[in-house]
Structure formats: structure tokens, C-alpha cells
Amino acid sequence: MGALPVYRWRLAPDGYATRRQLRARGLRPGGQDVAAQLERPRRRRGPLVAYLYRVELAKPVRPMTPARWAALAAANAARRVCPACRRDAGYVIPAALGTCVPCAYPDPHGPEGSTHEQCRSASSGP
């Protein structure tokens, strides 16, 4: 296998596309190897590199099946459940906190002032 052809930014010939460009057209690389490389020069650093694929060898994107939709919905729902109080927070739990905001930052005046029912009951304990 020889070296990949390298094109400068915005000078790639027709028939080549990046992964994002293929996806915008409803296509995927489909197992083909990288056909060319696009380089965008930068000051004081190495060039930005994008890999190009042949459009005519690309395959259509596989459609989502009902099972895949269900798995995606379950995964997104799991990201919203607080591991401390087991409550659906209504938003994705931040990775930096690891818990919902009321569990991460409890009320400094004690659990009596907390508006978060599960956290209040969990902190009172046996």
C-alpha cells in the first residue's frame, strides 16, 4: 500500500468526503479504508488532519430498529437517575458531581430545610 494522497484545506477533488459529510448525506464509510487525507495548516503547531473516504464506495446508514431505539432510551434514562437517592433528576447527572445537585450540595442548615424529599429521608437514617 502506498502513501495516502494529501490535499490542502478546501482543495480536495469531488468524490471524497469526511465521515461527517458522509453522515449528512445519509451514508457511512462501510468498511473502506481511508482514501486520502486533508490538511489544514496552523501557526506554531502541526496541521489539522481530516481523513477522506470515497463517496461511491460508501454504504447507506443502517436504520434504527425498535430494539435499538429502546436501548438508547434506557441508556439515556439511566444517565438521569441519581445513584444516591435513586430519583430521576430530570436532567443528565453531571459526571463531575456523580449525584444530583441536591445530593451533591445538601442544605447547610440541615435536612429540615431541604426541598428534596428523598435526600431528606435518606439523611435522617435509622
Q: What's this model's pTM, rounded to 2 decimal places?
A: 0.63
The predicted structure's pLDDT at residue 106: 86
CB 52 within 8 A of CB 13: no
The secondary structure of residue 31, as a DSSP letter, is T
The predicted structure's pLDDT at residue 112: 56
Dihedral angle at the C-alpha atoms of 97, 70, 18, 59, nearest 10 degrees? 160
Lowest mean pLDDT, pick from 21-35, 91-105, 107-121 = 107-121
The letter for the amino acid at 49 is: V
Region 102-117 average pLDDT: 69
Percent of the chain with pLDDT over 70: 84
Cell numbers placing 29:
464509510
Residue 85 parent element (H or E): none
pLDDT tens column, 17-57 = 999 999 999 999 999 999 999 999 999 999 999 999 999 99
Nearest to 120 by CA among 103, 104, 108, 99: 103
